[in-house]
Structure 1
Amino acid sequence: MEPEGTTQPNMHSTTKKKEKKLREKGQQEASIVYHYLATVPDSSQLTTNIRYSLVEVNKQ
């Protein structure tokens, strides 16, 4: 992952199709991570925090 605040080259030339593909990939990865954490005992607070973070990310 890149540090926050770094600008990605060719950001403006990114097509909508590419963005959609990346977003879907991100959601798949997030659900895998979420599923893994859901299987770990005493992780309910952690998964709640992650769920909140994902909601914030998806708003952007």
Structure 2
Amino acid sequence: MLKFIKNHMESITGIEIYPLISLLIFFTFFVILFWWVFTAKKEYIQKVSNLPLEDNIKSL
């Protein structure tokens, strides 16, 4: 089964670009995420981190 898939994938022209595109999307996402974490306002981080500890949460 694996040999069939490998042979089939090798027959597709231009398929070698897809792993590179996936890596680029993955890397870009985490760079943006790290940038957001380091530039987020401290007040917002504090407010969001205290949400699970608040007593006045409305019940569903």
Kindly indicate whether structure 1 or structure 2 has the higher relative contact order, using CA contacts under 8 Å at least 6 residues apart: 1
Is the shorter-chain TM-score for this pair beyond 0.5, marking a shared fold? Answer: no
User: TM-score category by the smaller chain?
Assistant: 0.3 to 0.5
Which has the larger share of helix? 2
Q: TM-score, normalised by structure 2?
A: 0.41
Instruction: Give me the TM-score of the superposition, normalised by structure 1.
Output: 0.41
Structure with max Cα Rg? 2
